[in-house]
Amino acid sequence: MKPPRLLVATTNPGKLKEYRCLLDGVPFDIIGPADLGLDAGVEETGATFEENAILKATTLCAASGLPTLADDSGLEVDALEGEPGVRSHRYAGDDATDAQRNRFLLKKLKKVPAGYRTARFRCVIAIAWPGGRVEIFNGECGGEIALAPRGDRGFGYDPVFFVPELNKTMAELPLEIKNQLSHRARAAARAKAYLEEMGEGGEPAEAPFH
């Protein structure tokens, strides 16, 4: 018997690949909106990561009739009073590329010296069920903003997010290392534990922890 499907609400192939790796072993077939011919575009009107994650998960759950996982994540830079935050993807404009967003951020921090560029990645995962239930899982990873981009792995702000204990940016890390310490990995570990509790029946149970 085929396992039940879990829709991951993203059009980003890199993010879908990460989730398939992060959730490996859960009793669900992980698919993306493109596998269903769905438009995954949802206007992120929430004021917080949690609100946006819930909005995306519930919207795609209603459209697909499937349990749906969505996240909202972003970068918070202390020297910028928490910016870009929920605007991380749109920080340099709605149609900006990852490289353009990184250049825009580095320009904002041009006068901020090393040692004062502390930051964190935050991720909130929402899992919405067709019956209306939603579970929330959080993850965070601290670091610093590098003086220049380094590395060609990952996506988003990975090339400028420096992890001091490893002396590398996120974009310099192999996926298996990134998936042990990233904000998304930490939130996904909590979501995975919850999904593993579900069994193959696909009925929502109490989340073991958040």
Active site residues: 72
CA distances from 182 to 48, 52, 103, 175 (A): 19, 20, 22, 10
Structure token pair of residue 147: 């003086």
d(CA 202, CA 197): 10
Note if the bond before 84 is cis, omega within 30 degrees.
Answer: yes
Reading the block at residue 179, the tokens are 């998936």
Locate all alpha helices (DSSP H) within the chain, ordered by sequence: 13-22, 33-36, 49-64, 98-108, 175-181, 183-198
Token reading at 152 = 């060609």
Pairing mode, strands 134-145 and 118-128: antiparallel
> What type of residue sits at position 3?
P
Q: Is omega for the bond preceding 159 within 30 degrees of 0, making it cis?
A: no
**First and final C-alpha spacing in the chain:** 31
